[in-house]
Amino acid sequence: MSAKNPTRRNVLKTVGGLSAALALGGGGVLAAAGTAAAVGDGFGLRIVDRNEADARMWYYRFQTAAIGWNPGVNVLLPDDYHWSGRTYPVLYLLHGGGTDQDFITFDREGVRAWTAGRPIIVVMPDGGHAGWYSNPVSSNVGPRNWEQFHISQLIPWIDANFRTYAEYDGRAVSGFSMGGFGALKYAAKYYGHFASVSAHSGPASLRRDNGLVGHWANASSAALDLNGGTVYGVPFWDEARVSADNPVQRIESYRNKRVFLVAGTSPDPINWFDTANETQVLAGQREFRSLLGNAGIPHEWYELPGGHFIRHDMMQRDIDGVIDRLRKA
């Protein structure tokens, strides 16, 4: 999804950003506002709400034909973005499922601290309460095409509006829970987009245990997002779509990527949701790791005490690893 001439585009944006900062003494509030004026519509996205008052965390909400409501995104900029003139790698960070999860999730968890002083842009988009980073087979509430929104619209929009490396070695994707699945799916299905992929308590196998994760994707999407519609179809799955999305069936697509996996080994025994989620995550990641190992594909993995939650130390380790893998700012 690179622009036709990303080098020229980045030079123009760099010069524009530097001129605004220099004219106002470098990096002040007015300099940031001058740079922000360049952020506009495109790729099927029309900005309907925005906030660029914070020096690092910029917020946008879009109208798009891909989604029947206006999804939001947080774009976390490096500390020196407004005055450095540098081009940066990008991490797409995907939230989990549930009514308490959205594009603000990682800001609440501490992403500003994890990235302080680090040369990377972090993009955190909405993915629905149970969107599963997919274009659903059916919807009774209008379009909920999260895969189209993220891959065909948001990524090129980010590259057009921010100083990014619009290339394979310039992007990583990571996520928690449903977002970890989304990261594994996107990295395999769109091989040339991401050089690093990470799943924090994210399921890696849709079909194991009689398709438990696939059935959960259908049930949760029907209840929370699609008013009875489903991601993969009921009573019969769209088998080709499941196979295309299933990480354990796309092993060769992870070759030459950085792969980072985290799973919990001891979910809360009296919390059925925690137990059901992390037990399945752990089993699926072990299956996935075995297949990667048999194929000779390097990967970094951690099995840690606890259940289904975001581990801040692992997020920090992951972000540092992403920066080491991607093209340098």
Question: Strands 196-200 and 72-76: what pairing?
Answer: unpaired
Q: How far is CA 188 from CA 21, 264, 284, in A?
A: 40, 23, 16
What tokens does 93 get? 């960070």
Alpha-carbon Rg of the chain, whole angstroms?
19
Q: Is 177 a catalytic residue?
A: yes
Q: Give counts: helices (H), strands (E), the chain.
A: 12, 9
Count of all residues that appear for the chain in the document:
329
How far is 196 from 2, CA to CA, in rounded Å? 17
- Choosing from 82, 95, 193, 308, which is the catalytic residue? 308
Number of neighbours of residue 18 by Cβ within 10 angstroms:
17
Beta bridge partners of 49: 61
Any long-range contacts for 62-65 (C-beta under 8 Å, 24+ apart)? Answer: 64/149, 64/153, 65/143
Q: Is 274 a catalytic residue?
A: yes
How far is 117 from 50, CA to CA, in rounded Å? 25
Identity of the amino acid at 165: Y
How far is 129 from 141, CA to CA, in rounded Å? 14
Task: Output the DSSP codes for 140-205.
Answer: SSS-B-HHIIIIIIIHHHHHHHS-B--SGGGEEEEEETHHHHHHHHHHHHTGGG-SEEEEES----
- Choosing from 177, 201, 205, 220, which is the catalytic residue? 177
What tokens does 16 get? 């524009």
Catalytic residues: 177, 274, 308
